[in-house]
Structure 1
Amino acid sequence: MKTKLMSMVLSLFVAALTACSADQDASNQPEKEKKDKYTALAEEANKDEKLEKLELLPYAEEVEASLSSPKYKEFTTNSSVLVKGKAKKYSGFTSDYVWIKVRSEEEGPNGREFSYYAPIKDGKFEQRVQLFNGKGNYSVKVSVPSDKAEDYFYDIVEFAVENVNPEVKRDVALTKNALKHGLVLKNSINGYMEIDGFFELAGEVEDTSVEQLMVELKKESESTKIMIPVEKGKFSKKIPLYYGEGVHEVQIMTPKEGMTDFYSEAANLYVKNLSSESYEPIKYSSAYKEKGFNLETPEVGGEKTDLTYTIKGSIKPSGKDANKTDVVFVQTKKDNQKAMYAIPVKNNEFEGEFFLRFGPGKYEVSLMAPDFTLTNGYVQHFVGVAGFTVENTNAKDQRFTLPSRGIQSDAPVIKKLADQLTKNKKTEKEKALAVYEYVAKNVSYDVEKLNNRTFEFDDSALKTLDEKKGVCQDFAYLAIALLRASGLETQMVTGYAGQNHAWVETKVDGRWLTMDPTWGSGYLQNNKFVPKFTMEYFDPKPSEFQKTHTKKEIEF
């Protein structure tokens, strides 16, 4: 019985096909001369050697396989070699590809091994094999599929080749998953590239069920994952080379069939970063994919900014709760101090600025989406979808003066009203009183909202000003927005006053003045609001106020 050389597929790769220009203009002459130089070197080396004809291995005879290229067992070439052949008895093959394994004698920037899958058409196969580490010696094995078991291949030939060209060229390696899903990368993407800082990863996926790709970026012991949305079969993403100067391995993965949140390798390439600058990766949660988020800005974490920072992205209409998500939130954290900001969503897109209000230094930033599953009336829940860091270079601590979630103190209508209320007011206390009186006299307590717990994610000062009604949080939102717009440092106090409650503290003449415009507006009787303005809850005596109000937290 004839001996069979059998190999089991552990990792199946096929090179991306690339087109070569045949232009003969003057600008291409240096490249042409270089190619001619190394071709001449290879031809000269082959003349000096006694070339032995290629010998096929026993299994080649069983399937009546033959190779028309190459012709020799050992030879020299310029950069690449053409593998071309056929197998007459191919109808029983369990795969439609020939496996070509290339091994470099020396370790290089692209490792030591590379594999191709060459398609079999009517028993014929052809593949241009790139000698991926430049100048040096390589061994090449060609294997055809088993006729009995999937993912088994039998060697039909092995040859050795020396590359005289020192230039490092590598094809993009595609696995069987890439072929299955129809993954094709943009022609400008090669298996080995030298780039300064960032590169664009773009291409197409024929499989319409693929909505997202995962990219794993690795350099030595460091790695991170990046999610790339696929829209109408196309994808494009600017990829940061996070880990500074040196070679980064890039693995592109497609979803694993029948398994949620699992991915399998589809393509592999190497990118040498010429820049010494490093970046912090952005971290993504499982909700990022589930809710269909695509974060466009920022592209990296760890950037520096002066007080404000922009966030931009989109939400797939097919994402979970996308039709209900009309606002997303940004939470900033520094030294255990937190602040939140609301960013409106329009036509499934969001873009807005947020503030780094706690002075200079590094902030942890979380992009958050409303969690409609857990949220109930009194308590609103959020789910984090992405996280990154930002460094604020602004020296000022402006925690009590800047806008924040629900407190749009920079809105034109708020600023105009604040100017009207405080006009001709000479002292800070007079300004604070003008705001207290306006809110307490013009906003009605919303008993229905309290009873039905119809708290919304878009509750805010602007909404309260428009509707002229709300609960304690809404009274506080509007009062704080007007006070900050008037130039007064102000904070929200949350605590307990018979039930969960919110009120206001504003700084006047160097001290914190307390006001509760909700209690100052009237009272509840028989489950109805009775408007009755009172000054009792503007700058009350602390000892008296503490009898009814228990302070728990400060919010900004």
Structure 2
Amino acid sequence: MKRRIASLSAIIIYLTVSFQSVFAFQTNEGINIDKGNINKGIVGVKYGNGDNIKSKLIIEKDDAKYIYDIKADERVNSFPLQLVNGEYKVSLFKNIEGNRYKKVLMDSIIIKLEDNKEVFLNSIQIIEWNDSSEAVKKAKELTEGTKNNEEKVQAIYKFIINNFNYDYEKLNKLKYDYLPNIDKTLEEGKGICYDFSSLFAAMLRSLGIPAKLVKGYTQNAKGYHVWNEVYIEDLNEFIIIDTTYDLQMKKKAREVSMIKDNKLYDKIYEY
């Protein structure tokens, strides 16, 4: 993908920080922090005060920092706490003007998960799914009669690389805060790497299979790219699967292999 997509995660922002940070579940800015599912490795954020001003959510742990765009639409968005156990800092910054932001909330969260793979089973902002999703229903249909998780992974992988097309026009029209919609991708039968990776992860997660959405670079694509890492029980490890690359190669009648060489992929972020 072109570097334009890098703005979805690698955003440099200049922040004007207020001196009064808010340590609360709910603030007069219309922000609500939901810690009810931190035992699953996610935190919920609801932001809605009617001003429709763009905002940034920052989740930090140690030296790692994840930046998310968040809309003041009064919906609860869930975000992963994927940087293993320990203390996280969650901050929300409201746009003042241009690239200037003001901190309107800061909170801390401590998680202690027995198995960090649980984080990669959740519905989150960029991999949003529920039992009523058409994509989830399709996942169950495709995997009916399979004997194990590896067969489930293969069934869904084959479905995506054999039935979807890459949408080159969409790539040039993306907004900075674009988020995948798995049911829309399923219905349209086309998308970009962000869409396919979100769809693949959601379908697998709905079946209880840990799946990551990963952003970074690879020799198999130009510019910023998105792919998946999927946990395989028999191997006791996450393997790299790139449905976008493989569906494009299939269109060119080239042979593909589901499992990719990790030496060809440079991970920047994982969700």
Q: Give the alignment's TM-score, normalised by structure 2.
A: 0.69
**2:128 matched to 1:408?**
yes
SS in 1 for 2:121: coil
Match of 1:472 in 2: 193
Match of 1:399 in 2: 119
- Quote the Cα distance in structure 2 between the aligned partners of 1:421 and 1:369: 43
Quote the offset at 1:411 in angstroms: 5.0
SS in 2 for 1:315: coil
Q: 1:411 to 1:535 in 2, by over 3 A?
A: farther
- Quote the Cα distance in structure 1 between the aligned partners of 2:31 and 2:172: 40
Flag structure 2 segments of 5+ consecutive residues without an equivalent.
1-18
- Quote the Cα distance in structure 2 between the aligned partners of 1:399 and 1:412: 21
**2:20 matched to 1:225?**
yes
Contact 1:309 1:354 in 2 (8 A): yes
- Quote the Cα distance in structure 2 between the aligned partners of 1:383 and 1:469: 38
Contact 1:329 1:367 in 2 (8 A): yes
Quote the offset at 1:511 in angstroms: 3.1
Q: 1:488 to 1:439 in 2, by over 3 A?
A: same
Quote the offset at 1:446 in angstroms: 0.9
SS in 2 for 1:552: strand
Q: 1:515 to 1:311 in 2, by over 3 A?
A: closer
Equivalent residue letter for 1:495: Y
Quote the offset at 1:335 in angstroms: 3.8
SS in 2 for 1:389: strand
Match of 2:227 in 1: 503
The counterpart of 1:315, out of the listed 34, 49, 56, is 49
Match of 1:101 in 2: none
Deviations 1:344-403 (A, max 9, x none): 654xx34455454555542211235689956xxxxxxx9864321123355442233223
Q: How does 1:355-366 map to 2 (within 5 A)?
A: 355-358=80-83, 360-366=85-91
Contact 2:227 2:241 in 1 (8 A): yes
Contact 2:50 2:72 in 1 (8 A): no
* Number of residue pairs aligned between Structure 1 and Structure 2: 243
Q: How does 1:222-301 map to 2 (within 5 A)?
A: 225=20, 281=23, 294-298=29-33
- Quote the Cα distance in structure 1 between the aligned partners of 2:37 and 2:165: 44
Greater relative CO, 1 or 2 (CA 8 Å, sep 6+): 2
Quote the offset at 1:538 in angstroms: 0.9
Q: How does 1:407-486 map to 2 (within 5 A)?
A: 407-410=127-130, 412-413=132-133, 414-454=135-175, 456-486=177-207
Q: 1:514 to 1:552 in 2, by over 3 A?
A: closer
Flag structure 1 segments of 5+ consecutive residues without an equivalent.
1-223, 227-279, 283-287, 375-381, 524-529
SS in 2 for 1:294: coil
Quote the offset at 1:506 in angstroms: 1.0
Match of 2:266 in 1: 551
Give the number of the structure whose residues are more often helix, by fraction.
2
**Largest Rg, 1 or 2:** 1
Contact 1:340 1:405 in 2 (8 A): no
Q: How does 1:20-419 map to 2 (within 5 A)?
A: 225=20, 281=23, 294-298=29-33, 306-307=39-40, 309-317=43-51, 322=52, 330-337=57-64, 345-346=72-73, 349-358=74-83, 360-367=85-92, 385-392=104-111, 394-397=113-116, 398-410=118-130, 412-413=132-133, 414-419=135-140
SS in 1 for 2:20: strand
Equivalent residue letter for 1:514: I
Give the number of the structure whose residues are more often strand, by fraction.
1
Match of 1:521 in 2: 247
- Quote the Cα distance in structure 1 between the aligned partners of 2:158 and 2:36: 44
Contact 1:403 1:409 in 2 (8 A): yes
Quote the offset at 1:407 in angstroms: 0.8
Quote the offset at 1:342 in angstroms: 7.5
SS in 1 for 2:205: helix
- Quote the Cα distance in structure 1 between the aligned partners of 2:255 and 2:239: 13
